[in-house]
Amino acid sequence: MTNKIRRIIASRYGKRPQERYDDEDFRGIRAYFDYRRAREPQVFALDETTWYDLSMDEVFERISNTGSACGEQLLYYQLRCPAMNEEEYQRRAELIRLVEEDPALRHKLQELLFRVGKSNAARTEEVFSPARQGKGRLFLSLLLFFGLLISSFSLLFTRATLPLSLFVLLLCANPLYHVFMTKHLDTHLPSARYSAALAAVYTRIRALGNSALTAWLAPYEEAGRRTRGLGRLGALSMTIDNDILQMLNGLFLWDLILYERMKIRLGRLQGEVFALHECIGRIDAAIAAASYRRSVERYCDPEIRFEAEASPEIQAVDLLHPLLRHSVPNTLELQGSMLLTGSNASGKSTLIKAASLSVIMAQGICTALCRSYTAASFHVYTSMALSDDILAEESYFITELKAFRRILQAAQRGERIFCAIDEVLRGTNTVERIAASSVLLEDLGSRQLICLAASHDLELCNLLAGRFAMAHFEEAVVDGRVEFDYRLRPGAACTRNAIRLLSVMGFDTGLVHQAEQRASYYLEEGRWPLS
């Protein structure tokens, strides 16, 4: 079995993960995040809008080369709650460096993590809040166990009716009781075993004797010490739970006895189990991050300034998008806000998503997909992939306004934010869209933050001059085809290929000429011709 595990580990590390998750999986994976979020509301976390806008479920899948359920949960948490201080960032970065620089240690850790596994039991809050009941069920299980054991031995020395009757009774009663209780405990029993397995694996990790790892484990030492006995119960539980001996569980109730003993201890060790879940999950998440770094075209170790007085700046050289196999690199240097213009499919949305993801991944898993990354730490907000909310009876425009308002509110609270806004207020008419969006963006541009916005409205370039830097993407019509190079260029967009495409697509030349005349008139006069 060990050789098989090693082959699996070797074949997966540094490769694209093949595992795909459905909605039910993600509900379990985010259980740890939800648990901590409810208890630590002051900790910044990506909100649902930002997570959805940036396709973060897919980003998670791309990175999650994990071996355990707790690793999945901690990786999700780290992406959802990027590091906001130097201490937390260094703890994450230090562990990634450790597993990268010591492959032998990483292999041993992966083997242990593989044994923890991706049990669904670990994806429930039950791990942190075990069922608390009295000792009555433990007493009953022990009574049935010893009753069967004693009556069995008695039959070796006597043919008396009482031992035989007791043996036959218990031979029938114990399996029935086992079936009843395991159905009753089908949630609690796996979670208790998982908790005990955490304790057992932590003990083995500690015993590896790596000095750097031991130093990193220091905050969890007390939890490991207090759960040591629980770990021994867990190891025994995993040993007996196999195909060969499973049938004997039904007769002698070993798993129920072990569970009741673990449950009693778990009721007193909830905080310690939570700490070990975090500890082992962090290790697995760090290995997943290291594996991801090996699998990409380029990455760098970010340089992040966490101090409160740090200016809102970003410099990302040859930035790539993590979900594109053939991403075109662009360099982004921002000392404030920027407005991107250009036609559809030219690269605006891809760049603002790549920039947003670079901030999240840099602070989340200490990895940036560029040649170099230097920035302040940010709270990230987006307004991109919005839609009507039919159930709430809200229009697209109302949804846009709510998304924008939450960004303004974050800015007003004094948060140092990076916000990405794609096609500002596109859910209303042109005049009101430009008037409203220019005012809202101007407000953002006057604050100590970075707003990376994309728009087709070239009028915004004039209205926001002085508040926003300008950049654009271009396209060319070559041999009847639209070609994009996806390269960011300074200044506002100046090409007008949209009308030219009417001709390329076979529209009447007279209609094309009329369209060009009207566009020229508007650009010269600032108003549309009446006829």
Distance separating alpha carbons of residues 403 and 407, to the nearest angstrom: 7
Tell me the chain's radius of gyration from C-alpha atoms: 30
Facing residues of 417 across strands?
379
Name which of 102-106, 121-125, 165-169, 306-310 the model is least confident about.
121-125
- Positions of E strands within 232-388: 303-305, 314-319, 330-334, 337-341, 372-376, 379-383
- The topology (CATH level 3) of 303-495 is Rossmann fold (3.40.50)
Split at pLDDT 50, 70, 90, the class of 101 is very high
Supply the pLDDT for residue 73: 95
State the CB neighbour count (10 A cutoff) for residue 465. 12
421's enclosing H/E stretch is strand 417-422
State the pLDDT confidence band at 294, using cuts at 50, 70 and 90: very high
Higher pLDDT, 307 or 391: 307
What's at 437, amino acid-wise?
S
Q: How many Å apart are CA 128 and CA 145, to the nearest integer?
A: 30
pLDDT tens across 442-466, in order?
Answer: 999 899 999 999 988 888 888 898 8
- 81 pLDDT band, cuts 50/70/90, is very high
Reference 425, options 459, 469, 377, 473; nearest CA is: 459
What are the boundaries of each domain within the chain?
2-136+176-295, 303-495
Band the pLDDT of 185: cuts 50, 70, 90: low
Q: What is the rounded CA–CA span in Å between residue 180 and residue 321?
A: 53
Phi, psi of 421 (to 5 degrees): -130, 120
Q: Which of 229-238, 240-249, 477-486 has the highest mean pLDDT?
A: 477-486
Q: Strand, coil or helix: what is 442?
A: helix
Q: Which long-range contacts (CB under 8 A, 24 or more apart) does 269-272 make?
A: 269/226, 269/227, 269/230, 270/128, 270/129, 270/130, 271/223, 272/222, 272/223, 272/226, 272/227
Those residues whose C-beta lies under 8 Å from the C-beta of residue 67, and which sit 6 or more positions away, are: 9, 110, 113, 114, 116, 117, 118, 284, 287
List, for residues 343-390, the tens digit of each pLDDT value.
878 889 999 999 999 999 999 999 999 999 999 999 999 998 655 454
List helix spans (H) across 241-269: 246-252, 254-266
Instruction: Judge whether residue 184 has pLDDT over 90.
Output: no
Which residue is it, tokens 């791309």? 62
Q: Report d(CA 464, CA 121) in Å as an integer.
A: 53
Tokens of 222: 């007390």
Neighbour count for residue 413 (Cβ, 10 Å): 9
Mean pLDDT of the chain: 85
The contacts of residue 16 (CB under 8 Å, 6+ apart) are: 62, 295
% of the chain at pLDDT higher than 90: 49
How confident is the model at residue 239, as a pLDDT? 45
* 218 secondary structure, DSSP code: G
Beta strands at 372-376 and 303-305: parallel, antiparallel or unpaired = parallel
Judge whether 304 and 362 are in contact, CB under 8 Å.
Answer: yes
Indicate the length of the chain as a whole number: 531
Lookup: tokens for 276: 């070990």
What pLDDT sits at residue 145?
78
Least confident of 195-209, 253-267, 390-404: 390-404
Structure tokens at 309: 């007085």
Cα 468 from chain centroid (whole Å): 31
First to last CA, the chain: 81
E-assigned strands of 39-142?
Answer: none
Residue 163 has pLDDT above 50, yes or no: yes
Predicted confidence (pLDDT) at residue 470 exceeds the cutoff of 50: yes
Q: What is the pTM of this model?
A: 0.85
Domain 2-136+176-295: top CATH class: mainly alpha
Strands (E), 236-306: 303-305
Instruction: Please report the pLDDT score of residue 143 as a whole number.
Output: 80
Residue with tokens 């029935």: 176
pLDDT 10s digits, 16-51: 998 899 999 999 999 999 999 999 999 999 999 999
DSSP 344: T
The CA distance from 310 to 424, in Å, is: 28
- Rounded distance, CA 118 to CA 107, Å? 18
